Structure 1
Amino acid sequence: MSADTTTLPAPRIAAQLAAFAHGLEPGMLPAAVVEQAKLLMLDALGIALASSGQDFAHCAYRGLQALGGTGDSAVMGAFAPLPLRDAVLINGILVHGLDFDDTHPGAITHPSASAFPLALGLAAQRHATGAEMITAYVLAIEVAARLGAAARGGFHDVGFHPTGLVGAFGCALAAGKLMGLDLAALEHAQGVVLSMASGSMEFLGDGAWTKRMHPGWAGVSGLTAAALAGAGFRGPSQPYEGRFGLYASHLAARGQSADLALCTRGLGERWALMEVAVKLYPTCHFTHASIDAALALRAAGLRAEEIASVQVLLPQGVHPVVCEPVAAKRRPANVYESQFSIHHLVALALLRGELGLAELDAAHLADPQVQALADRIEHAADPDADYPTLFSGELRVRTHDGRELRWRESAHRGAPGRPITVADVEAKFMGNALLVLPRDQVLRLRDAVLSADRAKDAAILAQTLAHPKTSTSGAL
């Protein structure tokens, strides 16, 4: 009698992710993952604080407060608490609002902007420990990174912002974990959130504010889906590989090239969180390697008045986001548009020799020097790009006296292979937080986040991270 060689079908993706979420416990996280998680959360907090004085933040807060009133969930910055779902949304807006938050390059997502507000808010409400909060945060990132990577850059190509899409699924499982859902409910939560996952790239047309809310909405969607599933609400069993699942519905024909094996590969063995890159510039991550190259040429002695022309080589897949349409990119209508313009940003870097929040000022939009140099900048496809794994950038400069200068960065700083240090992350946090808070308070916040794994009650941690000088009006 011959041996039975029948191959059983692989478990559904949602079932595999649910099993991973259900079994994940704080003690299973490697020490390096916990330390990196705390650094990423620290980075997110600093950006949220820096965002808290911006118009978009106050408009969003007023709208949410008018809708739901006050609550008991902490909001980062000088705002009064809101109901849980509204706090998750506004905190996501704050973390993502300056486009200064972290990125998983392979997934092309900003994972902390949804994972941190969701994990912090729900862990605080349920009085979970800091270690349990971190575990939920890591879980959300592990799931979102894999789901995003499976699309191979396709979501951007068809106009969807993957941060909003895949972040919702990560947050649904993280919320379910903190709620103590069973395996079946964790599966249903993923099916339910399929009908909520969203995020349009149309903001690129005029620098609208909608991108800022995508991660917070992913957190709200995940939280809502988990609560519904926990109450017995049923969702589709194949939210990823189904006929109208995530990849088929959001990628259409391109969904056939999605690598669905990446959705679950290496769970619990390879930690995607360790691949998340911290931004050193408050701009779209697609532009960072080119900015690095521009700053390197400037540091080597190149001056803007010497430049006859610049060709910037970037991966073809990023051109619709940061290079096109050329006329609009050379003349961004507002600061947010400028953060997605390779022409404007490279010109600024070459002229100023640095690129931080101070350089992204409305006054520079109409600066004749910036505009004149942007007009001499062209873009082209990088034939050697390893996209979407890495975001490369190369500058080819021709000077008025006939010299040709080149500088290539195969990946931006902070990407795998080009790590930044713990000191770099802490310095970025300090710089952002000191924009709105005194130094002694900033240091207390830093220490609270970096010891979060030892916190006995996440509610106390959340209150610590909120500005103590809150007012019922939410005004600074």
Structure 2
Amino acid sequence: MDLAYRLASSAASRTFTDLSSSTVDATVDALIDSLACALAGTNAPGLAQARGALSRWGNSGCTVWGGFGDAPAPLAAFLNAGSMHALDYDDTDDKVPLHANSVVLPALLADVEDRHADCNGHALLTALAVGLDGAMRVGRAGGPKGSRGWNYSVISGGIGAVMAIANLRRWDTDMTVSALGHQLAQTAGSLQSIIDGCLAKRFQPAMMAKNVLMAIALAQANIDGPRNVFDGKAGFVRLYQDGEFDRGLIEPGLERCSLVEDLSLKPYPACRFTHAPIDLALQMHARGIRPGDIEHIRVRVSAQAVNMVGRHFDSKTANVVDAQFSIAYCIARALERGTLQIEDFSEDSVKGERAGAFAAERITIEANDKVPFLGMVPVLFDVRLTNGEHLELRTDEVSGSPVKRMTASQLHTKVADCLSFNDIRFSADELISTVGQLRTDAPVSKVLALLA
């Protein structure tokens, strides 16, 4: 029997009592983090244009977060996913990597608002945990090892989103499999938007969030989707994984949604592969070292980090996406300011000549063949100072990862930065408290009211 049946059966049967307290805590933190990122991203380049382009199809239905009115559920999910992913501040699974919430949460909350107005906290947290865990589980079992350039946030995130909504609707296994089949039939997710540094990148999870709601609608109408979702001749494993898929990673912890605890919340609004280099740059700043003290930094990272974020940075031609995906730019700004926040990726900051010159002329990024191809650590710096001194720095951990989690204070600081960026009319304390009340089964409508 196709793997879709096992995933569907698990998704349909999970309840809040299956979740450990640590999984609930991780789900709540991820929800707080994701909503803050989305509210920060509502005015990022491309979002106003997207709202304008889609408005001709209707302005009623579900909330477009941040005070932008309503839209039909699929379009609201699209716009909310786009804003969540726009600043590259949303959570990751470092082992794939993928942004699970970027697809799962916008689709799930649109379905809640569209069909489950009386939904309470336990139902939402259970469905969200099911979806995040499912996306991560499939992403890890497949992994990019067989990839020809697929965006794993999209292809795995769509599977997780279907599982989340199936749990919320209390579907049976067969209908859930049908929806997974419809989702497979309309999945795409090329990484070329990252390679070309274009704004389409922030709308790829958005496209999938929209498509998931379409798949759900078709399955609900008893239009059958493919059944051999994973193991078919053109199923997920052959199409996206070149036939390589570690099924041994599917079962452990599946019935507890335990992988949610492995989510990483990002302390910096840039590609996850830049985070360990940023950590080292901030360590240097804390030691009193500034860009003017540095003759050259040689950065050694994994081969995939070079592919993703190791390209030459040119401030004259760079845009926001280029900066979000540049180790050199991120190091230059972190060394200069001693922090890295949303404002560092404004168009004016990205075009700044001082940081741009430092990134282009004094930083070299090389692949370290001793680091696993997909590894985010270790990262090594060889630094020559202008006074002739030589420094060697290394980190084997990444801030925000399960082994170096953001503290409650750090999460609060991030949420406050996100909300202040767009002058949101409620505080970090109010968002954190309102979402936290879902633990005691408070109505989801309180959260939706804030988002509106």
Task: Classify the TM-score, shorter chain.
Answer: over 0.9
Contact persistence 2:19–2:256 (CA under 8 A): no
Quick one: which amino acid aligns to residue 408 of structure 2?
V
1:402 Cα deviation from its structure 2 partner: 3.1
Local SS of the residue matching 1:258: coil
Q: Compared with structure 1, are the counterparts of its residues 392 and 58 closer, same or farther at alpha carbon in structure 2 (3 Å cutoff)?
A: farther
Distance 1:59 1:154, change over 3 A: farther
CA distance in 2, matches of 1:389, 1:309: 24
Asked if the contact 2:197/2:322 (under 8 Å) is kept, the reply is yes
Deviation at residue 238 of structure 1 after TM alignment? 2.4
2:63 maps to: 74
Structure 2 gap ranges (5+) = none
User: Is 1:146 the counterpart of 2:131 in the alignment?
Assistant: no
- Cα shift readout 1:324-345 (whole Å, capped 9, x = no counterpart): 3x3x567652122111011221
Quote how far apart the aligned CAs of 1:456 are.
5.1
Does residue 17 (structure 1) correspond to residue 7 (structure 2)? The answer is yes
Partner of 2:357: 372
Give the aligned partner of residue 379 of structure 2.
393
Q: Which runs of 4+ in 1 moved over 6 A?
A: none
What secondary structure, in the 3-state scheme, does the structure 1 residue paired with 2:298 have?
Answer: strand
Which residue of 338, 342, 347 maps to 2:332? 347
Give SS of 1:277's match. coil
Which of 89, 100, 124 is equivalent to 1:100? Answer: 89
- Superposition TM-score, scaled by structure 2 size: 0.93
TM superposition shift of 1:277: 0.7
CA offsets 1:38-57 (integer angstroms, 9 cap, x no match):
11111111111111233422
Which residue does the alignment assign to 2:284?
297
- Give the unaligned 5+ runs of structure 1: 1-10, 468-476
**2: CA distance between counterparts of 1:315 and 1:76?**
37
CA contact (8 A) 2:302 2:376 kept: no
CA distance in 2, matches of 1:214, 1:271: 26
1:417 corresponding residue in structure 2: 403
* Residues 30-179 of structure 1 aligned to structure 2 (within 5 Å): 30-66=20-56, 68-125=57-114, 126-127=116-117, 128-154=119-145, 158-179=148-169
Contact 2:180–2:225 (CA under 8 A) maintained in structure 1: yes
Counterparts in 2 of 1:143-292, with a 5 A limit?
Answer: 143-154=134-145, 158-251=148-241, 255-269=242-256, 271-292=258-279
Q: Deviation of residue 432 (structure 1)?
A: 1.1
1:356-381 per-residue CA deviation (whole Å, 9 max, x = no partner) reads 11222323334332233222211122
1:117-148 C-alpha deviation (Å, 9 max, x unpaired): 12222122222222111111111111110111
The 1:418–1:441 alpha-carbon spacing in structure 2 relative to 1, beyond 3 Å, is closer
SS of 2:380 mapped into structure 1:
strand
Match of 1:432 among 406, 411, 418: 418
Write the distance in 1 (CA, Å) between the matches of 2:138 and 2:372: 19
The answer to which of 171-180 and 255-264 deviates more is 255-264
Hey, what does 1:6 align to over in structure 2? Answer: none
Q: 1:108 to 1:323 in 2, by over 3 A?
A: same
Change (3 A) 1:259 1:209: same
Paired residues of 1:448 and 1:464 also in contact (CA < 8 A): no
Cα deviation code 1:226-251 (max 9, x no counterpart): 22222222222222233222232124
Letter in 1 for 2:271: C
- For 2:236, the aligned partner's letter is L
Q: TM-score, normalised by structure 1?
A: 0.88
Code of the aligned partner of 1:281: Y
Secondary structure in 2 matching 1:110: coil
User: What is the number of equivalent residue pairs in this alignment?
Assistant: 449
Which sits farther off after the overlay, 109-118 or 444-453? 444-453
Q: Distance in 1 between matches of 2:309 and 2:322?
A: 9
For residues 182 and 389 of structure 1, do their structure 2 counterparts lie closer, same or farther at Cα, with a shift above 3 Å needed?
Answer: farther
Counterpart position of 2:342: 357
* Offset of residue 268 of structure 1: 2.0
CA contact (8 A) 2:62 2:72 kept: yes
Tell me, in whole angstroms, the C-alpha distance in 2 between the residues paired with 1:404 and 1:256: 47
Amino acid in structure 2 at the alignment position of 1:90: L
- Look up the match of 2:319: 334
Alpha-carbon offset, residue 270 of structure 1: 6.2
Amino acid corresponding to residue 64 of structure 2 in structure 1: V
1:105–1:391: 8 Å Cα contact kept in structure 2?
no
Say if 2:66 and 2:424, in contact at 8 Å, map to a contact too: no
Residue 364 of structure 1 aligns to which amino acid in structure 2?
S
User: What amino acid is the match of 1:114?
Assistant: V
Of 447-456 and 116-125, deviating more is: 447-456
Q: Which residue identity lines up with residue 291 of structure 1 in the other structure?
A: I
Aligned to 2:293: 306
Measured against aligned partners, the alpha-carbon deviations of 1:74-96 in whole angstroms (never above 9, x if no partner) come to 12102001111111111111111
- C-alpha RMSD over aligned residues: 2.2
Specify which of 445, 470, 475 is matched with residue 431 of structure 2: 445
Q: Could you report, residue by residue, the CA deviation over 1:363-420 in whole angstroms, capped at 9, with x for unpaired residues?
A: 3334332233222211122344356465442221122343221221222111121122
Sort the Cα spacing of 1:331 and 1:376 in 2 relative to 1 into closer, same or farther, 3 A.
farther
Is 2:123–2:168's contact at 8 Å kept on the other side of the alignment?
Answer: yes
Q: Percent identity?
A: 26
How far apart, in 2, do the equivalents of 1:307 and 1:442 lie?
37
**Change beyond 3 A, Cα 1:314–1:329:** farther
Partner SS state of residue 288, structure 1: helix
